[in-house]
Structure formats: C-alpha cells, structure tokens
C-alpha cells in the first residue's frame, strides 16, 4: 500500500541515512557484535551526516526542523540495518534531546546540545532500577540537597548507551514523602566522582547495543545540572514517553518489514519437493497474512507519526502503537525463522538475529502489560 506521510525532503534524508548504513555501518556489522557497542567514530560520523539533532534548534547545532517525520525515516533505515542501532541512536537523538530542549536552561542547552547533535557526546536516560521499571513512581535512587547542589545515591539498570554515555538524564527521588511528585531529573556527567558505569550486560539479543548498570555513590551534582523544576521529573517523563513509544513502534514495524521482504525472496528461491517453498499454499497464505499484518500496523503507526509531528499524539494512541507493533513484529519474525528452516536458527543469518533482537520490544519502553493498563484506564476501567 502506498504510504502518504513522507514527502521528497523526508525521502532525501532517508536516502542519506541508507547511504550511511551502507558506507559506515554495514562494513562494521560483525565488529559491533563482538565489541558489544557502536564505536565512537561511528557516532561522530552519524552526527556529521546530520542524522542526529532534528529536534535540536539550529543555534545549538541541530537541524531545528520540528517535524518528527525526519526522526522517523532515520529510525526506519537504522532498523532495516539492525534493531540495536535504531535503539541506541533513537535514545540519543530522539528521546533525550526533547528533555533538554524543553526543560533545560539556556546554559544547559549551550553546554550539551551541540555535542549531542554532532555525536561527540553520547546520551542516555536512566529511569529503570534493579527493584523495578514499570512502577516508575516507586524509584529509589535519592538526591539530597547539600549546600549549593545535590548528593545522589542509588543505581539504575538496563540503561541503553549506559556504558559509553557521557551524559545521563537520571530520575532521582528528592522528596520521599511526595511519591511521584518527589522525583526530579538530573544531568549526570561522565567523570563525576562516585558515578560508575557497570559492565555491558549480556543480553539475549541486540549485542551491538551497550546496555549497562549505573551506580551513584555520593555523587555531588551541582544545582546547574538539575533538569527542570524540583519535583517535576515524573510529569516530564510521562509527557515525553509517547515520543519514545511512537519511536519504538516505527522501529518495530520497519525492522520486521525488512526481514519479511528478505524472507519472501528466500521463499521464492528455496526449493523443497521440486518447487519453491513459497509456492505451497500454506506458506503462500502465511506470507499473505504477514504482509497484511505489517501493512495494517504500518498504517496505524504512520498516523501516529503524523499526529506526533503535529503535536497531537495522545499517550493512549502511542501505547496502542507500541504494544501492537511489537506483537506483530514478534509474530512476523517467528514465522520468518520458520520459513528459513534450520538456517533460520543460525546466528549468521539476519533472520535469526532479528528474531532474538525483537523479543525485548514487548518489554521495554513500558512493557506491553503497562501499555494495556494505560489503554484500559482510558476506557474508564
Ligand atoms: C535491552 C533493554 C534496554 C533498556 N533500556 C532502558 C533505558 O535506556 N532506560 C531505562 O530507564 N530503562 C531501560 N530499560 C528498562 C525497561 O524499560 C524495563 O525493563 C521495563 O520498563 C520493565 O521493567 P522491569 O524490567 O523492572 O520489569 P517489572 O516492572 O519488574 O515487571 C515485571 C513483569 O511484571 C509486569 N507488570 C508490572 N506491573 C504490572 C501491572 N500493573 N499489570 C500487569 N503486569 C505488570 C510487567 O509487564 C513485566 O511483565 C531497558 C530494558 C532492556 C531489556
């Protein structure tokens, strides 16, 4: 089905992202699996190519285009390469900047946004803790006032870009008595005494993304590094999670769609009983169903992208896009593995890696159960 949300400017950015994948990412695909991260020079090259910072105003080094569709086309192209790059770049370039652009002081913007746009400074956002991620209001990391600043104690886990991050947006409890209203955001910088990145976590999939624990042991954070008002952290996160969720949905659909296209080619070439496996009615019908599911999911996600670009996307629609797209992605990729037979279980095949990579999309950015909770609440239940 023809898509109608992108014009030639978006397609030009898509072409440039696709060229970046072919030139810079693809030759290093295996290396990134081995080192479990994206090398710094790749981040810088992406910045140089203008793939970061669409949300960052021009005076701070970004494109300042204020049109989420540009973020979305880049995310689609990264997902077609692999899900990990889409996730790492997405956190850095789509999820983190709006926090600083919307909530930051002039000094904070001047200090950090140019480096984020250029890829010289890698950013992460740390909400989840070992004791739980779904119930964000219950987070335990504390920030206590000390003189002109704050002292942070606690830990975070599963943080994307956490190992390499130069700057981390950290949610901490500043008032134990006020529940969700007692949470404040801080910008914690690499090298601050007492701040340590743990090991790169050993994941089932997405080996190329660095996912780490973070530890805060009496980290002194100046008040200039407080992001937004004291007690405003929870609301700030709730307001910006829809962007993270629509971004996840874009990535989920593009990722599964790319592998499905490759699987259709495979089904035309691979023969059994003297005919292409795609010619068996079972497989033909299956592929017809999968293509339909992807296109229907894509149409809903496209509408969410348009709504978000117009600043009209509701938290509930973002939740629907996130859970549904991840469900479809996982279903499609599971069938794609099956259609590849034994090769589908071999790590050297993209389909096998994509299948493992996809599993997390039902868990992160708010688990699918939490998405259904949000949708159910909206139904008045
Ligand atoms: C690879 C990876 C990268 C990540 N990146 C980041 C990141 O960059 N920053 C960050 O802050 N976090 C990140 N996360 C954390 C992620 O957002 C959390 O894992 C997720 O929110 C779930 O939290 P949890 O793991 O603590 O599970 P829990 O909250 O302990 O939930 C466990 C199970 O209980 C279910 N559950 C919980 N509450 C309810 C309920 N009310 N109703 C029904 N079921 C419920 C959940 O759906 C889940 O199935 C990442 C996670 C992974 C795996």
Q: In this predicted model, what pLDDT tens digit does every residue of 317-358 receive, in sequence order?
A: 999 999 999 999 999 999 999 999 999 999 999 999 999 999
Task: For ligand 1, say whether the CB of 211 is within 6 Å of any of its atoms.
Answer: yes
Alpha carbon of 302 to those of 68, 75, 246, 350: distances in Å?
11, 13, 9, 25
β-bridge pairing 123-126 and 211-222: unpaired
Q: Please determine, for residue 1, whether its predicted confidence score (pLDDT) is greater than 90.
A: no
pLDDT score at 368: 98
Tell me which of 363, 371, 373 to substitute to probe ligand 1's pocket, judged by most ligand atoms within 8 Å of the beta carbon.
Answer: 363
The CA 130 to ligand 1 mean position distance, Å, reads 10
Q: What torsion do the CA atoms of 335, 338, 343, 346 make, to the nearest 10 degrees? A: 70
Smallest CA-to-CA distance from 143 within 192, 213, 199, 105 is with 192
**DSSP SS3 for 209:** coil
| Residue in the block written with tokens 């009496």 | 218
The CA 22 to ligand 1 mean position distance, Å, reads 33
Atom of ligand 1 at shortest range from CA of 160? 8
φ/ψ region of 119 (left if φ > 0, alpha if ψ in -120 to 50, else beta) reads: left
pLDDT band at 164 (very low <50, low <70, confident <90, very high): very high
Active-site residue, from 76, 213, 244, 298: 244
Q: Which pLDDT tens digit goes with each residue over 234-250?
A: 999 999 999 999 999 99
Q: Which pLDDT tens digit goes with each residue over 47-90?
A: 999 999 999 999 999 999 999 999 999 999 999 999 999 999 99
Give the bridge partners for 188, in sequence order.
Answer: 168
β-bridge pairing 167-173 and 123-126: parallel
Tell me which of 364, 372, 373, 375 to substitute to probe ligand 1's pocket, judged by most ligand atoms within 8 Å of the beta carbon.
Answer: 364
Smallest CA-to-CA distance from 323 within 239, 245, 241, 240 is with 245
244 in active site: yes
Task: For ligand 1, say whether the CB of 159 is within 6 Å of any of its atoms.
Answer: yes
The CA 133 to ligand 1 mean position distance, Å, reads 5
């Amino acid at each position: 089905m023809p898509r109608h949300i992108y014009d030639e400017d978006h397609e030009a950015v898509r072409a440039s992202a696709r060229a970046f994948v072919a030139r810079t990412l693809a030759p290093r695909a295996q290396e990134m699996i081995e080192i479990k991260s994206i090398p710094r020079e790749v981040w810088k090259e992406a910045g140089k190519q203008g793939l970061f910072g669409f949300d960052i105003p021009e005076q701070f080094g970004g494109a300042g285009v204020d049109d989420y569709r540009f973020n979305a086309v880049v995310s689609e192209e990264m997902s077609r390469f692999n899900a990990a790059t889409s996730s790492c770049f997405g956190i850095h370039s789509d999820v983190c900047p709006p926090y600083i652009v919307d909530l930051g002081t002039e000094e904070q913007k001047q200090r950090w946004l140019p480096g984020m746009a250029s890829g010289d400074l890698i950013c992460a956002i740390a909400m989840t803790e070992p004791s739980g991620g779904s119930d964000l209001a219950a987070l335990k990391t504390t920030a206590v006032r000390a003189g002109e600043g704050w002292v942070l104690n606690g830990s975070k886990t599963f943080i994307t870009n956490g190992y390499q991050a130069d700057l981390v947006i950290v949610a901490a409890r500043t008032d134990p008595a006020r529940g969700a209203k007692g949470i404040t955001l801080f910008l914690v910088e690499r090298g601050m005494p007492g701040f340590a990145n743990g090991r790169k976590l050993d994941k089932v999939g997405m080996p190329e993304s660095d996912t780490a624990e973070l530890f805060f042991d009496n980290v002194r954070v100046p008040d200039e590094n407080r992001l937004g008002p004291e007690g405003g952290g929870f609301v700030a996160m709730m307001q910006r999670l829809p962007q993270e969720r629509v971004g996840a949905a874009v990535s989920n659909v593009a990722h599964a769609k790319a592998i499905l296209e490759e699987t259709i080619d495979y089904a035309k070439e691979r023969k059994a009983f003297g005919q292409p496996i795609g010619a068996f009615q079972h497989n033909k019908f299956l592929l017809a169903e999968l293509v339909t599911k992807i296109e229907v999911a894509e149409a809903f996600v496209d509408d969410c992208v348009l709504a978000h670009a117009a600043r009209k996307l509701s938290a509930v629609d973002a939740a629907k896009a996130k859970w549904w797209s991840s469900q479809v992605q996982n279903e499609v990729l599971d069938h794609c593995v099956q259609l590849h037979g034994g090769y589908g279980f071999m790590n050297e095949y993209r389909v096998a890696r994509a299948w493992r990579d996809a599993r997390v999309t039902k868990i992160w950015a708010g688990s699918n159960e939490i998405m259904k909770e949000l949708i159910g609440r909206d139904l008045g239940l």
